[in-house]
Amino acid sequence: MAEATVFSQHTPQGTASPEPRPAAPGAGREPHSAAGAGSGGLPEGFEVIPGAGPAQRPGERPTLRLREGEPEEPPRYAPEWLRLREPADAAARSAESLDPLRIRLANLPSRHGGLIVHDLGCGTGSMGRWLAPLLDGAQHWILHDRDPYLLHFAAVASPRAAADGSRVTVETRRGDVARLTPDALIGASLVTASALLDVLTREEVDTLAAACAGAGCPALLTLSVVGRVEITPADPLDAEITAAFNDHQRRSGLLGPDAVGAACEAFAAHGATVHTYPSPWRLGPDHRELTAQWLRGWVGAAVEQRPELRPRADRYLAERLEACAAGELRVVVHHSDLLALSRPTGGAG
């Protein structure tokens, strides 16, 4: 199964985000600012933190990697990128989704034992830092990711208390969430994810929906990109960059901007009631660092997808970064949150 380089450009909030520790030499986890032109990397101005865009290390071939049959590890998200986006993610996630979720959780048969929450593709754990303090009652979070480095950050900066002061505990599980089975979710009260769906394939989203339906537990899957961006002031190149970026996201069969539609279909096919909520990033002068990184990743991916854009994209990016630094740029990156209420099976919670 093929997988493209990571760059789902989503986000979280929180105050407890961990400080990144120095990466082990050669581990490939450092924020490799890309090599300059001529060393196989991205050209000057397109350097991005891994996760924000198609970053490459010197000599590394670009985005495409095979998940099976290749010794290379999957692409990684730099904790710096996840930390940078955490406040914007937290501000963006829809609070509206929490009302129907709370009702469902309140009606769990054995709620008294506390909630068991599985956070898939947890990264450094921003979803838990956002959601745990918004829900009442004791919670045990099971944080899943394939990257042990990110799991380490998630464990050390985990949320400690629920909305009503009840205890929150966590454990981490390393693995491929695309292969989740209903058995892995036995006893789950809730499945969450943030900025994950669009880096999965349709088949993987179907597997996830089947696992949630099999376990009878609701799923709150936040911050999937939907492929729409508004930038003020507008530029004639906005639409072309957007289209090229969206095509880049769909490379190798990943869902990219089609993720929410595919997930709605998958969960509905398994009998779930599905709600979606807008959850846009609204970036202005207070988010210059995030906006600049996002721009580099967004334009860099577009150029990787359509190299003929490069001369115009160079000019475009330089002007956009200048406006951003001057506090004159506003960006709305549209996302969607999805709440899927699977039919309870009686064993949850």
Chain residues that interact with ligand SAM, rule: CB under 6 A: 8, 10, 12, 77, 82, 89, 121-123, 126-127, 145-147, 150, 176-178, 194-196, 199
Output the smallest distance, CB 156 to ligand SAM, in A.
Answer: 15
Say whether 146 sits in a helix, a strand or coil.
coil
Output the smallest distance, CB 67 to ligand SAM, in A.
Answer: 8
By beta-carbon proximity to ligand SAM, the closer residue of 126 and 342 is 126
By beta-carbon proximity to ligand SAM, the closer residue of 76 and 309 is 76
In contact, 174 and 74? CB cutoff 8 Å: no
The single-letter code of the amino acid at 268 is A
By beta-carbon proximity to ligand SAM, the closer residue of 162 and 178 is 178
Mark residue 271 as left, alpha or beta (left: phi above 0; alpha: psi -120 to 50; beta: remaining): left
Q: Round to whole Å and give the CA distance between 54 and 40.
A: 13
Which single residue is written with the structure tokens 């581990």? 27
By beta-carbon proximity to ligand SAM, the closer residue of 125 and 214 is 125
Is cis: bond before 22, omega within 30 of 0? no
Close Cβ partners of 93 (under 8 Å, ≥ 6 residues apart)? 130, 194, 222, 223, 279, 337
By beta-carbon proximity to ligand SAM, the closer residue of 115 and 196 is 196
Of 69, 167, 168, nearest in space to 127 by CA: 168
By beta-carbon proximity to ligand SAM, the closer residue of 82 and 188 is 82
Output the smallest distance, CB 326 to ligand SAM, in A.
Answer: 29
Show the tokens assigned to 27: 């581990």
Task: Provide the β-strand partners of residue 338.
Answer: 221, 276
Show the tokens assigned to 138: 């004791």
The single-letter code of the amino acid at 61 is R
Output the smallest distance, CB 176 to ligand SAM, in A.
Answer: 4
Task: Provide the β-strand partners of residue 174.
Answer: 145
Output the smallest distance, CB 188 to ligand SAM, in A.
Answer: 16
Output the smallest distance, CB 174 to ligand SAM, in A.
Answer: 8
By beta-carbon proximity to ligand SAM, the closer residue of 158 and 316 is 158
By beta-carbon proximity to ligand SAM, the closer residue of 127 and 301 is 127
The single-letter code of the amino acid at 296 is R
Of 346, 99, 101, 119, nearest in space to 218 by CA: 101
Instruction: Spell 30-60 as b/e; 16+ CB within 10 A means b.
Output: bbbbbbeeeeebbbeebbbbbbbbbbbbeeb
Output the smallest distance, CB 108 to ligand SAM, in A.
Answer: 24
Output the smallest distance, CB 249 to ligand SAM, in A.
Answer: 12
